[in-house]
């Protein structure tokens, strides 16, 4: 009878903003919305049958049968919601639109970051406390302190490479590394002062102050 059904299939790369405050133990909520811009004004093009009750709509989730497992993220939960109504088109006329939104709850795999970043950082923080325990006569106190500072700098560069650029939030772990680096720098300055006092000639008079 000349009836033709055409079901187009497309693949859309999408992205969403992330909150890196709790990196690498963060959970992200990503929303992806689709709107039928080319539907007819009488509302004949719909994403889903509106005969569904609200209880049924709340149970709709994203199909994960063809989901490819990602080495960095786990899909924890998903939800689908639809909007259908009239909007002002700008010239005094109302336009009927239909949009569909997908909400994805993603959890990051923290194992890689714990092994390669968090554990080394905690180890360096533990070792750096022994700077004052190192005898002055060994001559290694300054080189030891500089090595610790370089280690913290390397960790900051690693975090900068694996996190998105220009995000509104800075990971708390980055603040911890900066704070530890500052303490190590202060300890190194104290070491300079201690070496200065220790290496004074025996005949040097004590300053008046």
Looking at residue 90, what is its pLDDT? 67
Please give the order of strands across the beta sheet that includes 73-88: 27-35, 94-108, 73-88
Alpha helices in the chain (DSSP H): 54-58, 111-113, 119-128, 141-162, 172-198
| Report field, pTM of the whole predicted structure over 0.75 | no
Q: What is the mean pLDDT of the chain?
A: 81
Per cent of the chain over pLDDT 90 is 12
With both helix axes pointing from N to C terminus, report the angle between 119-128 and 141-162 in degrees, rounded to the nearest 10.
160
**What is the structure's pLDDT at 107?**
94
For residue 89, the model assigns a pLDDT of 65
Using one digit for the tens of pLDDT, what is the confidence trace for 20-29?
889 889 999 9
């Amino acid at each position: 009878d000349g009836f033709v059904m055409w079901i187009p299939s497309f693949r859309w790369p999408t992205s969403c903003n992330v909150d890196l405050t709790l990196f690498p133990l963060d959970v992200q909520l990503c929303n992806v919305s689709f709107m039928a811009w080319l539907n007819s004004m009488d509302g004949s093009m719909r994403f889903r049958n509106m005969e569904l009750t609200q209880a049924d709509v709340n149970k709709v989730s994203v199909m994960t049968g063809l989901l490819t497992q990602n080495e960095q993220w786990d899909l924890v939960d998903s939800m689908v919601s639809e909007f259908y109504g009239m909007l002002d088109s700008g010239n005094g006329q109302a336009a009927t639109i239909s949009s569909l939104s997908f909400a994805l709850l993603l959890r990051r795999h923290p194992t890689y970051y714990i092994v390669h970043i968090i554990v080394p950082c905690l180890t360096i923080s533990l070792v750096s406390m022994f700077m004052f325990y190192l005898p002055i006569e060994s001559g290694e106190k300054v080189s030891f302190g500089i090595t610790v500072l370089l280690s913290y700098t390397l960790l900051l560069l690693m975090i900068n490479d694996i996190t998105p650029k220009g995000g509104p939030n800075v990971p708390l772990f980055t603040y911890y590394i900066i704070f530890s680096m500052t303490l190590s720098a202060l300890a190194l300055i104290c070491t300079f002062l201690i070496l200065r006092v220790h290496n004074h000639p025996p005949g040097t008079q004590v300053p008046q102050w």
